[in-house]
Amino acid sequence: MTVRIAVLGTGNMGSAIAERLANTGFTIFLWNRTIDKAKSLASKINATVYETPWRAIENADVAITLVSDDNALYDIISQMRRSDGLLFINSSTITPKASMVASKQLKELGACYVEAPIIGNPHDLIQGNVIFLVAGERNCVRYSMGILMSAGKIIEIEGESYKASIAKLIYNSMLISSIQLLSESLTLADAYGISQEKVKEIMENTIFKQFVGKYLDRIINENHPTSFKISLAAKDLEYANSAAFDANLVLPLIRTSAQTFKQADIFGLNESDYTKIFNFINPKKFKKISNSNK
């Protein structure tokens, strides 16, 4: 019998994993807070849409969540009932506290909880080229591997489920902060008349070759599609900063990056790709978008 998977949340990443799993032979059920998004995807991948997350879950063998934040995950869990034998995979980026709450509550309901946040973008996910950072009870992790390996590579994090959440926040903090640093460096070069092409040439002869080669053009290309919103980048940095606070740590760079991305989010760049933090940092770009917002 085909494994039935409920994908909860059909944003960019949720839609991508649903498409990937459907293409690899799984039966897919969908739920999304905005139901029309789920219906549009369902017609594309021949999936069934449910009006509530619990209705999707109770008909499935496995649930995979890809939602925006802790509260969205709590909303789903709060609707659940006894579900013995269910494998519940959370691939959302959440705080370790939320992971602990989810793990405890789902275990009490008879479900097997696995934390499996994703490194990669929607295109990578559809192609099966992402990385899943996986943690949880060993039997639950083993149960999840066949499904997750059909969509990407697995790096197992030993220990409690929340450690996968921390691992994802570590990765995102480094990536997002690096994008901000490259944006600031390009802004400094622009102020002194050094072209972006020259910056790229310099960096391609250094240890930064791979990073700049992948992200510089994306930063300056106004037509690059959004795969990771500024609002979500701001949230992830805030979660990393919160996790640091809980561990009695002060991480100045992550805290500063969190403030910058949050300001850009509030300013109105929330739906823009996170690489467009350059437009917020660079005075020339900022002036242009400020004028367009008037």
What are the backbone dihedrals phi and psi of residue 80, each rounded to the nearest 5 degrees, phi first?
Answer: -80, 150
Is residue 131 predicted with pLDDT exceeding 70?
A: yes
Q: Please say whether the beta carbons of 226 and 273 come within 8 A.
A: yes
In the structure encoding, which two tokens stand for residue 244, read together? 């640091």
Question: How does residue 289 score in pLDDT terms, banded at 50, 70 and 90?
Answer: confident
Mean pLDDT value across residues 266-287: 95
Domain boundaries of the chain, sorted by first residue: 4-159, 165-289
- Asked if 4-159 and 165-289 have one fold, the answer is no
| pLDDT, tens digit (0-9, with 9 covering 90-100), for 215-265 | 999 999 999 999 999 999 999 999 999 999 999 999 999 999 999 999 999
Phi-psi region of 212 (alpha: psi -120 to 50; beta: other; left: phi over 0): alpha
pTM as predicted: 0.94
pLDDT in tens, 188-219: 999 999 999 999 999 999 999 999 999 999 99
Report the pLDDT value the prediction gives residue 294, as an integer from 0 to 100: 58
Percent of the chain predicted with pLDDT > 70: 99
Question: Over the stretch 23-42, which tens digit does the pLDDT of each residue have?
Answer: 999 999 999 999 999 999 99
4-159 has CATH 3.40.50.720 classification: yes
What pLDDT score does 293 carry? 64
Question: Domain 165-289: which topology?
Answer: N-(1-d-carboxylethyl)-l-norvaline Dehydrogenase; domain 2 (1.10.1040)
